[in-house]
């Protein structure tokens, strides 16, 4: 399990189907097109991956938008959260 720490509190992070649907709704772009080069979209998928994992795990997630959390995420943490997961998921969606 991957975790995102915001203001001293750890929240779970997973690329769930719900996170990818929310990403598409917010950005208008299918997750299979995600490359990680657009910082705004990077923040959006981290937000939705964390929000969705918290919902699935029954953990309160008090943040209402990506803008509320992106100042707490540096590039090293973003890379650790997404790692190969985003690329593998995007590749798998392209093959479907």
Phi, psi of 66 (to 5 degrees): -60, -35
For the whole model, what pTM was predicted? 0.84
Query: Which residues in the chain land under pLDDT 70?
Result: 84-96
Look at residue 51 in the predicted model and tell me its pLDDT: 98
53 inside domain = yes
Q: What is the pLDDT of residues 82-93, one digit of tens each?
A: 986 544 444 444
14, 20 Cβ separation under 8 angstroms: no
Domain membership of residue 30 (yes or no) is yes
What are the structure tokens assigned to 53, written together? 């994992």
Residue 89 domain boundaries: 7-95
Residue 32 is assigned to a structural domain of this protein: yes
**How many domains are contained in the chain?**
1
- Decide: 82 and 13 in contact? Cβ < 8 Å: no
Whole-angstrom Cα distance, residue 23 to residue 30?
8
């Amino acid at each position: 399990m991957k975790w995102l720490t915001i203001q001293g509190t750890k929240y779970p992070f997973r690329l769930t189907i719900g996170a990818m649907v929310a990403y598409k709704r917010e950005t208008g772009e299918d997750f299979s097109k995600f490359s990680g080069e657009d910082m705004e979209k990077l923040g959006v998928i981290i937000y939705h991956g964390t929000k969705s994992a918290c919902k699935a795990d029954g953990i309160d997630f008090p943040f209402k938008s990506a803008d509320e959390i992106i100042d707490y995420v540096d590039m090293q943490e973003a890379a650790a959260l997404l790692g190969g997961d985003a690329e593998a998921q995007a590749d798998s969606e392209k093959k479907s």
